[in-house]
Amino acid sequence: MASSSSSCTHQWKGVNTVIDDQLGRGQEISPALVKAVEESRFSIIIFSENNASSTWCLEELIKIIDCTKVMGRAALPVFYNLDPSHVRKQTGCFAEAFAKHEEVYKEQMEKVIKWREALTEAAKISGWDSRDGYF
């Protein structure tokens, strides 16, 4: 998904990147990351096989999709070695991840539903498929 951490911000000719690789599994996205997403004019969402198993990636995706809808922000999905339909329909590795989420969050299914909706919305956006040879 988008990347972020206040300790790892880069600037390159007006482009700021934020790396979120220091966020531990199970932790909520930080207020700094939420702010970075809200202040971004453009988000690049990188989907790979492991995204759906990460709840913080899914929470971050919800924020990005909210910003595209409410604030008119642009987003570009990149499907890295992944069929975009697996993201859109939550099949393949995404189905496996959601089976686990539904078990863990059976008392909070509204959270799982929001994650599914965000994935579907993001995958509907025209993006790049690495299998097409762009990378």
Q: What is the dihedral of CA 17, 18, 22, 24, to 10 degrees?
A: -130
CB atoms within 10 A of CB 87: 25
Q: Which two tokens stand for residue 48?
A: 């790979």
CA distance 130 to 73: 23
Q: Which two tokens stand for residue 2?
A: 């988008």
Q: Which residue(s) pair with 12 in the sheet?
A: 15
DSSP assignment letter at 80? S
Residue tagged active-site, from 38, 60, 103, 110: 60
Q: Which two tokens stand for residue 30?
A: 């930080």
Active-site residue, 107 included: no
Q: Return the active site residues.
A: 60
